[in-house]
Structure 1
């Protein structure tokens, strides 16, 4: 009986200690202003990562956190294309998984169809690798329909299988007839069906069956996110087609249309973080939709340290009204011996008065092999085990103070955020 009483008391104290996340639903207003407590399901991965950490006070702290009776949603945890480690990106199923794993913010990358309707896709021309389009009659409408691989007489591949299929090649109705799949392709494919393979072995196709992979319009994503009580971070994707599209649909029309869909849905500006890799889009929002522009995020597309902006450039962003920058994770971290530490870019961004969001955790496969590519390029020498993910999060949160972290598996970030009380 005493144990039961202690469990009840522990649960009550946990509830009292956790700040509440506000719902993004603005209709009706009374419901929007009511606090939302969102209990989440983390699954085994965060606990696995903590177990694999090198012994340290941080590991002890995170292990102690595992005994909590429940975990809650946090805006520090951002669902990158949903939960793209295992679910087809930018699908309803992926978004639902991200919310269930405690993402307090979820992303819809925004592009447009032939009839100028906004849809959620990472790239305007990624349909060949993220949907089943090449295995449907719509393949013939692609910019470049599927072409099989070619091999010489010795069996050596001389040309990889390929296809280029864009949302702007098809109408919204046609887009909605497709099914999402894991972003991958088979370069050796001889048939469209073979081309749809190639998923990395550290991901899975278990959630990409014929009855899942539901594609979504931007407006549908807004309504879903409102119902889930999460904030929203749409990214206006750089068009792959020449703008103005068909001579009269300008980049400004595109940028305005995206924000207009939030206005039409009565979503409060404080619940939206519009993103773009184009500074012109960000400045457009700041000048023409200032309430939404206040939280506009300027994404940094640097591929190496040498391409990162200087302190003076970062200060110029702030002077133009930009408040938030979002570089890739490698830009923010460096090493000091075996320790992961803030980079000079991170220090410069904070000195310029900029807030920071970063991308993308859980996108590099296995970490213990020591060859983790793009996102770890500046600190890979300090990564020796899978648990380094938690060390990365700790430096980002405690030493740099980022607002949030994009993740392909949001549960990992949610676990850390709960352990550290990151709910604002």
Structure 2
């Protein structure tokens, strides 16, 4: 081995040791928990550095620029959570998306869990999204869909009268049939007159480059566990609310035989069967009864269960007393959307009352979803930015938002469609002292 190469390896090893021994700088004097770094090297690509360069001038930009110039090694971190993998560019909940998330430094990766007709658990964001996230409508399995593909209808002048539609659920197909499908970017074309046309419609700020016939590998929940163990990442499965009536009639005899409780237990059982320690698993659900079930029946997993909270307006968010009640019944983690945690004070982004109440209740906070709203500079960033859109004016504000969430709100972690951005920020703040 040449001397320069040996020196380079020694330098990299020394940096890794120093990083492993150093304390995360995201921990604050107010008692917020430190970020966990998992030791594996991350590959960030150009996006985080593009965002830094696009920031408005200020101390945070200067600090991140110094990090970008000086830091040669980035580590995987549990602060960075791969939302459906790295689904800004890779088809969600596919092997390729999960691998990309881990390479970008996500220390936790998500499999959304639902079930097939024969009760196999699989990774899909919704029980009934196969028509927009896979190629099912362009296969023979289209005939088995709850609503097979229906083409768009137009008037004599070419005006759209009825949009193309389909509804295809995992519960419409067996596991063997599910395995024949390919994942694609979540999209559809309302003007489609053929199944092939219906598969198009990907947003112009995403890409179909990784949705080819040899990629888009769908996965079962059990397969995701094996993959995540190999990638050395922690796991955050979300038990998706069924789109079919529960208990589900799995054998077609007209009697429901698969209960919500059995579904919730089956998900945990697959981690136990794989020998995964509960400390590496953060089960999630939007249904509080699932959280309560795990706390009561699988307390080692239930202690890390994440209660996902959804709402469409600030008035719908739980208040201080309700948040305190969550903690009292053993819920330790809440996960509201981004907009619930911050608001705008002129051009400044500040913590919301909900964020202050959640911290006062001693709840750990995880939030979702960064890098999911496309171009920010257009001034209309949609649902995720509804409480603070007036304070957003450029792509680099992604990092300004992240800084407020990390340092002022004190979140435990954040779901992102492109985990490299969060990984970069967490690494830089860790070493900035």
Matches within 5 A, 1:4-403: 12-13=14-15, 15-19=17-21, 37-66=39-68, 67-246=70-249, 247-403=256-412
Q: Is the 8 A contact 2:38 2:75 kept in 1?
A: no
User: How far is 1:301 from its partner?
Assistant: 1.1
Structure 1: runs of 5 or more not aligned? 22-34
- Cα root mean square deviation, aligned: 1.9
Q: Is the 8 A contact 1:147 1:161 kept in 2?
A: yes
Normalized against structure 2, the TM-score is what?
Answer: 0.91
User: How far is 1:18 from its partner?
Assistant: 3.6
Q: Is the 8 A contact 1:298 1:325 kept in 2?
A: yes
Give me the whole-angstrom Cα distance separating, in 1, the residues matched to 2:8 and 2:212.
45
Give me the whole-angstrom Cα distance separating, in 2, the residues matched to 1:120 and 1:174.
14
Q: Give runs of ≥4 in structure 1 deviating > 4 Å.
A: 4-11
What secondary structure sits across from 2:403 in the alignment?
helix
For structure 1, which segment, 337-346 or 89-98, has the greater mean C-alpha deviation from structure 2 after superposition?
Answer: 337-346
Structure 2: runs of 5 or more not aligned? 24-36, 250-255
Listed one character per residue, the Cα deviations across residues 7-26 of structure 1 (whole Å, up to 9, x for unaligned) are: 976872464134599xxxxx
Listed one character per residue, the Cα deviations across residues 335-367 of structure 1 (whole Å, up to 9, x for unaligned) are: 122110100000010111111000000000000
Indicate how the Cα distance of structure 1 residues 19 and 412 shifts in structure 2: closer, same or farther if over 3 A, else same.
Answer: farther
Normalized against structure 1, the TM-score is what?
Answer: 0.93
Indicate how the Cα distance of structure 1 residues 416 and 401 shifts in structure 2: closer, same or farther if over 3 A, else same.
Answer: same
Q: Is the 8 A contact 1:88 1:182 kept in 2?
A: yes
Indicate how the Cα distance of structure 1 residues 250 and 6 shifts in structure 2: closer, same or farther if over 3 A, else same.
Answer: closer
Aligned residues: 408
What secondary structure sits across from 1:358 in the alignment?
strand
Give me the whole-angstrom Cα distance separating, in 2, the residues matched to 1:168 and 1:20.
48
Give me the whole-angstrom Cα distance separating, in 2, the residues matched to 1:386 and 1:36.
28
What secondary structure sits across from 1:146 in the alignment?
strand
